[in-house]
Structure 1
Amino acid sequence: MKDVIVIKCGGSTIAELSPEFFKSVVNMQKSGKHPIIVHGGGPAINHLLEKLDIHSEFVDGLRKTTEDVLNTAEMVLCGKVNKQVVTSIQQAGGQAVGLSGCDGRLLEVTPVNEKVLGYVGEPTKVNTSLLTTLFDLSMIPVIAPIGLNEDGVHYNVNADSAAGAIAKALGAEQLVFVTDVDGILKDGQCLDRVTSNDIEEYIADGTIYGGMIPKVKAALSTFTGGIQSVMIMNGKSTTVGEDGSVQGTIIVKSKIELSIS
Structure 2
Amino acid sequence: MDGIVVIKCGGSMIDSLSKDFYEGIREMQNNGYKPIIVHGGGPAINQLLEDLSIESEFVNGLRKTTDDVMNVVEMVLSGTMTNKLVRQLQKHGITSIGITGSDGGLMYAKAKDIEKLGLVGEITHVNQDLLFNLISIGLVPVISPIAMSSDSEDYYNINADTAAAAVAVAVKAEKLLFVTDVPGVLKDSKIIEQATTIEIMSLIDDGTISGGMIPKVMAAIHSLEGGMNEVMIVSGQTHLLDGSKINGTTIQREMEAVK
Question: CA contact under 8 A between 2:147 and 2:158: conserved in structure 1?
Answer: yes
Question: CA contact under 8 A between 1:60 and 1:213: conserved in structure 2?
Answer: no
Q: Give the match's secondary structure for 1:239.
A: coil
Give the letter aligned to residue 220 of structure 1: H
Question: CA contact under 8 A between 2:183 and 2:238: conserved in structure 1?
Answer: no
User: Residue deviations 1:171-209, cap 9 Å, x none?
Assistant: 111000002355557999976544233556778999778
Between the aligned partners of 2:60 and 2:7, the Cα distance in structure 1 is 23
**In the comparison of the two structures, how many residue pairs are matched?**
256
Per the TM alignment, residue 37 of structure 1 is displaced from its structure 2 partner at its CA by: 0.7
Answer with 96-105 or 214-223: which moved more: 214-223
Q: Give the match's secondary structure for 1:65.
A: coil
Between the aligned partners of 2:146 and 2:244, the Cα distance in structure 1 is 29
Evaluate the alpha carbon distance shift between residue 67 and residue 204 of structure 1 in structure 2; reply closer, same or farther with a 3 A threshold: farther
Task: Name the residue aligned to 2:159.
Answer: 158
Between the aligned partners of 1:190 and 1:94, the Cα distance in structure 2 is 29
Q: Give the match's secondary structure for 2:69.
A: helix
Task: Name the residue aligned to 2:229.
Answer: 228
Task: Name the residue aligned to 1:239.
Answer: 239
Q: Give the match's secondary structure for 1:11.
A: coil
Per the TM alignment, residue 238 of structure 1 is displaced from its structure 2 partner at its CA by: 2.6
Are residues 1:173 and 2:174 paired? Answer: yes
Evaluate the alpha carbon distance shift between residue 205 and residue 61 of structure 1 in structure 2; reply closer, same or farther with a 3 A threshold: farther
Are residues 1:252 and 2:252 paired? Answer: yes
Per the TM alignment, residue 83 of structure 1 is displaced from its structure 2 partner at its CA by: 0.9
TM-score, structure 2 normalization? 0.86
Question: CA contact under 8 A between 2:38 and 2:144: conserved in structure 1?
Answer: yes
Per the TM alignment, residue 129 of structure 1 is displaced from its structure 2 partner at its CA by: 0.5
Are residues 1:141 and 2:151 paired? Answer: no
Per the TM alignment, residue 213 of structure 1 is displaced from its structure 2 partner at its CA by: 4.0
Percent of matched pairs sharing the same residue: 45
Coordinate RMSD, CA, aligned: 2.9
Structure 1: tracts of 5 or more residues without a match: none
Task: Name the residue aligned to 1:48.
Answer: 48
Question: CA contact under 8 A between 2:101 and 2:144: conserved in structure 1?
Answer: yes
Question: CA contact under 8 A between 2:102 and 2:146: conserved in structure 1?
Answer: yes
Matches within 5 A, 1:1-261: 1-152=1-152, 153-181=154-182, 183=184, 193-198=194-199, 212-213=214-215, 216-217=218-219, 219-222=221-224, 225=227, 227-235=228-236, 237-241=237-241, 243=244, 245-247=246-248, 249-254=249-254, 256=255
Evaluate the alpha carbon distance shift between residue 240 and residue 187 of structure 1 in structure 2; reply closer, same or farther with a 3 A threshold: closer
Question: CA contact under 8 A between 2:178 and 2:216: conserved in structure 1?
Answer: no
Per the TM alignment, residue 105 of structure 1 is displaced from its structure 2 partner at its CA by: 1.1
Q: Give the match's secondary structure for 1:12.
A: coil
Per the TM alignment, residue 90 of structure 1 is displaced from its structure 2 partner at its CA by: 0.7
TM-score, structure 1 normalization? 0.85
Q: Give the match's secondary structure for 1:45.
A: helix
